[in-house]
Amino acid sequence: ETGVTQSPTHLIKTRGQQVTLRCSSQSGHNTVSWYQQALGQGPQFIFQYYREEENGRGNFPPRFSGLQFPNYSSELNVNALELDDSALYLCASSRDRVSYEQYFGPGTRLTVT
């Protein structure tokens, strides 16, 4: 059984640029959630995708957007990057909408300069 994978591992961007992060869900999982984790903080919920549709969103501005594909992999896009967007971005997958156990990938470390 393949676990959750994310790419890239690390990324450095300049303020104002745009970035796309990718996530492949664990085999058999159809729900993907994205979280942002600042240094020394717990992960904060960005949004969730279930069967290619957004299924809940946290307190993040519209410049954070996402997609889920038919194979349940997902992308997180962030436009107009700000310095405060520097964080570890985590993807988690679960078996379905009513499955409570979420399994996390290794994360993408984004640095905005």
Partner 1 sequence: EDQVTQSPEALRLQEGESSSLNCSYTVSGLRGLFWYRQDPGKGPEFLFTLYSAGEEKEKERLKATLTKKESFLHITAPKPEDSATYLCAVQSAQGGSEKLVFGKGTKLTVNP
Judged by the rule CB under 8 A, the positions of this chain that interact with partner 1 are 4, 6, 31, 33, 35, 40-45, 48, 55-58, 88, 90, 92, 94, 97-107, 109
Nearer CB in complex with partner 1: 53/84: 53
Shortest distance in whole angstroms from residue 83 CB to partner 1: 20
Smallest separation, CB 110 to partner 1 (Å):
13
Radius of gyration of the chain (CA): 13
Contacts of 24 (CB under 8 A, 6+ apart): 2, 4, 5, 6, 73
In the complex with partner 1, which residue's Cβ is closer, 13 or 109?
109
DSSP 79-109: -S--GGG-EEEEEEEESSTT----EE---EE
Query: Cβ closer to partner 1: 18 or 111?
Result: 111
Task: Find, among 111, 103, 87, the residue nearest to 33 by Cα.
Answer: 103
Minimum CB separation from partner 1 for residue 63, in Å? 20
